[in-house]
Amino acid sequence: MSFASETVDVFIANHVLEHVDDDLKAMAEIRRILKPGGLAILQTPFSAVLQHTWEDGGIASPEARLQAYGQADHVRLYGRDIFERLAACGFVSKVQWHEEVLADVTPADAGVNGREPFFVFSKA
């Protein structure tokens, strides 16, 4: 990214990482631009059923990706290890629910899925 290191207070990537070929590189770049104590809100679909994030570079066609990941342009499905993956990149995770973050706003008004947790990460 064109931002200088440690210049961003808050970074929001809403349903982006599941589209990025090298998500670990993207996470490292997000960490680079965040100020110490900065926050990254990194929403992404994930499956609490999967212990590990699942990706397979051989799944390349839109049809195969739709079947494997639930959407034709996704390149992975995150599992419960998403927090470990981000911790390995230098983030501290905090999971919050809609009613904790946006108690006075309906999910429809906020444009979010009220059943999806907010993934908030701070730069360690």
* Total structural domains within the chain: 1
Per-residue exposure over 48-69, b if at least 16 CB sit within 10 Å of its own CB, e if not: eeeeebebeeebeeeeebeebb
CA separation for the pair 35, 38 (Å, rounded): 5
Domain-located, residue 22: yes
Domain range enclosing 115: 8-123
Q: For residue range 35-92, what is the model confidence (pLDDT) as tens digits?
A: 999 999 998 988 989 999 999 999 999 999 999 999 999 999 999 999 999 999 999 9
In this structure, the number of other CB atoms found within 10 A of the CB of residue 21 comes to 10
Q: For residue range 27-43, what is the model confidence (pLDDT) as tens digits?
A: 999 999 999 999 999 98
Residue 84 is given by DSSP the state: H
Contact 43, 115 (CB under 8 A): no
Residue with the larger pLDDT of the pair 4 and 101: 4
Residue 105 has pLDDT above 90, yes or no: no
Q: What is residue 29's predicted lDDT score, i.e. its pLDDT?
A: 97
Domain-located, residue 19: yes
Q: For residue range 6-31, what is the model confidence (pLDDT) as tens digits?
A: 999 999 998 999 999 999 999 999 99
Residue 113: pLDDT band by 50, 70, 90 thresholds? confident
Domain-located, residue 116: yes
